[in-house]
A and B are shown apart, each in its own frame.
Chain A
Amino acid sequence: MSKSFSAIDGADEEGIDREAFTPGIEPQATWCPGCGDFGVLKALKGAMPEIGRTPDETLLVTGIGCSGKLSSYFESYGFHSIHGRSLPVARAAKLANPGLEVIAAGGDGDGYGIGGNHFMHTARENHDMLYIVFNNEIFGLTKGQTSPTSPKGHKSKTQPHGSAKDPIRPLSMALSAGASYVARTAAVNPRQATEVLAEAMEHDGFAHVDFLTQCPTWNKDAKQYVPYTDVQQSDDYDFDVADRREAAEMMHETEDKLYEGEVLTGRFYVEEDRRSYGQEKRETGEMPEEPLAERYFDDDYEWERSYDLLDVHK
């Protein structure tokens, strides 16, 4: 492997700890006291040593909003893109260099609203990456407008009569679009969140994690503060996470109950034997075996010339 990407295969996995992912800049600068975003950051930092990845071999692509600031407070290569567009940036980076651990993150407006189209297609293509959506049922950074996950009847300055819209069902959307790993976790339980994020990163395919985060400033009513039930830990929810139909049923249950005050979390769907998009492309010859980005640093690689393509034009 090329010397210019030594971080990727030369990582000394011993001794990576969560502190390696802490930059010299503090999230208190922009996140309010009690914000659920702290829980995402903590869980993500905790998950990294679990999967044995270093900051140099990790690329975190974020959208815009409070959640988008995650890339400022997490030490790795970062790309703070634009509202709703973290997925297309992230998936191309993964195709260009499959050696990278690629994580995309954004909020519920970002991921389920403006970026909904990208969410559907990235899930469908089953790109090998983790996608975290901070779900606090509100637009935070623009000061409290109704979001795609706000409950029906939610009142805000932009929906003064109460929202007439049903909220998005993100887990069901991810499943029907084709995500091969779908989970919901919550900032109020960092232990489960850490486990889920680590498992999602180790999953070979598109892993969507709907991360319930509380917004103490704009959405005190949200159910994200409520103690949750882990469906894997509870005998009441005996279902097969590899079974699409059973998973769909459980997703409907959590999506209905969330607005009734009962929060069910955990892994809802895990599809183990499906090839990721990159693998599919490599197998059909649509994409090179070796990471494309490395070629530009390989002095011995012979670059083909279009001159050789001209015969058909003679």
Chain B
Amino acid sequence: MTGNELIWRIAGGSGDGIDSTSQSFTKALMRAGLNVFTHRHYPSRIRGGHTYVEVRAAEHEVKSRGDGFNFLLALGDSFARNPQDEAYYGNEEAKPLSENLDDLREGGVIVYDEGLLDESEIDDFEERVEANDWHVYPMDLRGIAREHGREIMRNTAGVAVTAALLGMDTDPFEELMSDNMGGDILDDNLTVLEEAYETAADLDHSHDLEAPTADEHDEQQVLLNGSNALAYGALDEGCRFIAGYPMTPWTDVFTIMTQHLPEVGGISEQVEDEIAAASLAIGASHAGVKAMSGSSGGGFALMSEPLGLAEMTETPLVLVEAMRAGPSTGMPTKPEQADLEHILYTSQGDSNRVVFAPSTVAECYDQAREAFRVAYEYQIPAVIVIDQKLSGETINVPEAHFDREPNPDLGSTLTEEEIAEASHHASGKFNRFQHDPEDGVSPRSIPGQSDGRFLASGNEHTPQGHISEDPDNRVAQTDRRLRKLDAIREDLDDTELDRQTHYGPDDAEYGILTWGSQQSTVEEAVERLNDDGHSVKALGVSDLMPYPKADVTEFLESVEDCLVVEMNASAQFRGLTQKELGRFGEKLSSLLKYNGNPFEPAEIVEGFEVQVNGGTEPPTAQVRIEPAAGD
């Protein structure tokens, strides 16, 4: 699996253009026919501070960041010129080189900007280089950039050196630059590219690493992250209203929607807080527009109140929860899957919602569409759970994946003709919340329609919407609202989408259960484990509520033992599984990671091997094993 692949890490300071440079580099590799995947790591700071982006490229499919990396481009942190070493963040100028050595594979290549970095400042550098057979190329990238353009173009110089050392030609980079810039800036960048390329091409190469090559892709590919795909899914499903308050990593979805909504005749509102944001989405939805809101952990906590209001008034609502590490403000730019219970159980009373956790960028699009369809069809809040990993990682997806018709259908909403035929009570109001529908859904009218008047109340209410504490009505209304989840489960099982995804051979002995964004990493680990002679399969769960009891039961019955892989410390998905299924406690152990970084496939491979051998000591200090209940 890790044969002919490049994992290129570009490191530098926040604000130095690391992200945009890596995106261009990735796109060039994609255009060359390779499969690509990027992983972003950045601090919660605007300028300065150690940041890196990893770009994995191979001819074979790439599903995760992979293990470690084999090419380091260390640029130096131009904003880290802190005169006081003891100040809050200290002097981090050397970090782009020093902080990245632990994960560099044996035989890897290091290019560093000797204009800003000095290897002699790093302890044991020479010894480590020798021990790991690293190949080091100090290059004056800043000098080249200054001489032929401007200092900021040292990123371009770094890309050019990468290309020269890996035997790539510069055509795709030149093409991309021409797409993105013009005038003197373009000319200068092209000159810097050429000069740096030639300087590096003249060096004696001591390494074996070459850029992977590929035939052209059969299909046109697009490079997207999870936030983009989610937003496009929402737009295609007819969402034309968003309200939000900025919070990392939810802000990405919010800004993408804000950029496109006016173009397609929609409305975006940045409002005073998250309670208002979700309440606005409810107001727009009540008035007949497909609407969404969202936040990250702390902001979603504020939405607990309107979430319950949407449930009680049966107003369709779609919320996004882009998880980051918590509790409280936690680690703003680091991923975790620890908001699961918060999302499932927040809000008071016997409350219900649909919760989807897409696993990949492509699935973000699919699940966003499904969330809107289900929310409007069943008049229920739907939460789409992503995390900082899925939100920001990019991968190539066939363009055809997005080639589906838009769906502006408002779901179970009546036309005026249908309202005229519907039942009304004595005072002329429309019977909005009838007790009897088997699937729990009583169709609604929209304000402004003739004779469709009703009261939507967050208090318990009669079929006409009037506040009521009548015990019979209470039971009938509660039961009807709860019936929706069973109907939704059946509905979801009938859709063509592969909702719970199986990885590995059907007859495997051992199981791995996982959810959300960790699925593709698990998939890669499962392939590797089976190649290594283990007998493993995995089930990746994307529906969290209503829980896919039948699918998971079948899976767990078919394996001897099962490892649950998730990014939190309290084994929340394992807890949900045991609660929903009421058994399998003795079969489920956990592999947990909560240090701010997503799993790498090797950690799952090693964790699994420990479990198979009956051990409880984790393979590294960065993960934890939680044994099964019976152990």
Contacts and interface: CB of A to CB of B under 8 A. Distances in A.
A120 B271 CA distance: 11
Contacts of B454: 77-78
Contacts, number: 229
A8 B448 CA distance: 6
B453 A75 contact: yes
Contact of B283 (A93, A304, A306, A314): A93
Given A3-B416, A56-B451, A88 B405 contact: no
B243 interface: yes
Interface in A284-298: 285-288, 292-293, 295-297
Given A89-B282, A295-B240, A314 B399 contact: yes
B448 A79 contact: no
Contact of A296 (B221, B263, B290): B290
Nearest to B305: A82
Interface string A57-98: 101010010000101100111111110010011111111110
Given A88-B283, A97-B288, A5 B448 contact: yes
A6 interface: yes
A4 B446 contact: yes
Nearest to A302: B406
A35 interface: no
Given A76-B453, A88-B279, A309 B447 contact: no
A91 B287 CA distance: 11
A113 interface: no
B627 to A, nearest CB: 44
Interface residue range, chain B:
35 or more
Interface in A12-50: 23-25
B43 to A, nearest CB: 27
B448 A80 contact: no
B236 interface: yes
Contact of A92 (B269, B273, B456, B465): B269
A92 B457 contact: no
A92 B284 contact: yes
Nearest to B425: A24
B1 to A, nearest CB: 27
A80 B458 contact: yes
Interface in B384-407: 399, 402-406
Contacts of B224: 313
A24 B464 CA distance: 11
B453 A91 contact: no
Q: Which of B231, B280, B405, B448 has the most CB of A within 10 A?
A: B448
Given A80-B457, A80-B458, A310-B399, A97 B287 contact: yes
A144 interface: no
A168 to B, nearest CB: 18
Interface in B297-312: 305-306, 309
Contact of B446 (A23, A88, A293): A293
Nearest to A63: B458
B440 interface: no
B222 A313 contact: yes
Interface in B444-475: 446-459, 465-467
Contacts of A61: 283
Given A82-B306, A296-B289, A305-B405, A95 B269 contact: yes
Contact of A307 (B272, B402, B452): B402
A203 interface: no
A62 to B, nearest CB: 9
B272 A117 contact: yes
Interface in A267-299: 281, 285-288, 292-293, 295-297
B279 A306 contact: no
B448 A82 contact: no
Contacts of A3: 415-416
A93 B427 contact: no
Contact of A78 (B236, B238, B284, B455): B455
Given A292-B241, A306-B232, A59 B287 contact: yes
Given A56-B451, A96-B241, A293 B287 contact: yes
Interface in A176-228: none
B223 A313 contact: yes
A50 B607 CA distance: 74
A244 interface: no
Contacts of B399: 307, 310, 314
28 contacts: A4-B415, A24-B425, A25-B466, A72-B455, A77-B447, A77-B453, A77-B455, A78-B456, A88-B243, A88-B271, A89-B280, A89-B283, A92-B243, A92-B282, A93-B284, A96-B283, A117-B276, A120-B272, A121-B271, A281-B267, A288-B267, A293-B448, A296-B410, A303-B406, A305-B404, A306-B231, A310-B399, A313-B224
Interface of A: 3-8, 10, 23-25, 55-57, 59, 61, 64, 69, 71-72, 75-82, 85, 88-97, 99-100, 117-118, 120-121, 281, 285-288, 292-293, 295-297, 301, 303-307, 309-310, 313-314
Given A25-B466, A296-B238, 6 more contacts: A3-B416, A77-B454, A88-B283, A90-B283, A288-B267, A295-B265
The 7 closest A-B pairs by CB, nearest first: A24-B427, A92-B283, A306-B232, A88-B279, A293-B288, A78-B455, A80-B457
Interface of B: 220-224, 228, 231-233, 235-236, 238, 240-241, 243, 260, 262-269, 271-273, 275-277, 279-284, 286-291, 305-306, 309, 313, 399, 402-406, 408-410, 413, 415-416, 425-429, 446-459, 465-467
